[in-house]
Chains A and B, each alone.
Chain A
Amino acid sequence: GAGVSQSPSNKVTEKGKDVELRCDPISGHTALYWYRQSLGQGLEFLIYFQGNSAPDKSGLPSDRFSAERTGGSVSTLTIQRTQQEDSAVYLCASSPWTSEYNEQFFGPGTRLTVL
């Protein structure tokens, strides 16, 4: 079946503009995660959604970052007033999240460049 998809694959924006990144998880997966991979850095967790529970936003770096998940499926990560340090690859993952098995499946990522 289809894997996790993300759009756009590349986004170039000017400093100060807002951007929206989209993630379509694997159908039936209840858990959805956003990560960021900056140049020369490891992947860092941003936010986690599980079913209808309140999201875990503990990884969001500032209040310019927010995310929504509509209908328990598609998610949008929004970055307001982008800064150059926001340039990174943003990766989305989903998992079936059972108590016994929680493998995360990743999308191809969105490469964000802030000029």
Chain B
Amino acid sequence: KQEVTQIPAALSVPEGENLVLNCSFTDSAIYNLQWFRQDPGKGLTSLLLIQSSQREQTSGRLNASLDKSSGRSTLYIAASQPGDSATYLCAVQTGANNLFFGTGTRLTVIP
């Protein structure tokens, strides 16, 4: 069964700092990988989706990379802002059906 791990579980950084969130998965036969953001008491907002044939995706200050062979993905956030404070989840899809989620990284950006 696919296992997804996210490190660190929690991270606090001062505003303006660049940061990297890590995600690893055990089965490299994935269909795609998604990064989500979850605010307290809210649903999930999709940030970036990387297809298995791609190595990275960028959206604004966010850049996600994928190394399928090693089972790793990173989410890079540039020039962090207090509004970036949230829980970040990565999820992999290993077929047509469900996503396997990590337990998330809780990010706090301190003004």
Contacts and interface: CB of A to CB of B under 8 A. Distances in A.
A45 B99 contact: yes
Interface residues of B, number: 25
Contacts, number: 61
Interface stretch (A11-19, A63-71, A72-80, A104-112): A104-112
A104 B41 CA distance: 19
Contact of A59 (B41, B98, B104): B98
B46 A105 contact: yes
Interface residues of A, number: 27
B44 interface: yes
Contacts of B34: 103-104
Interface in A80-115: 91, 93, 97, 100-109, 111
Interface of A: 4, 6, 33, 35, 41-45, 48, 50, 56, 59, 91, 93, 97, 100-109, 111
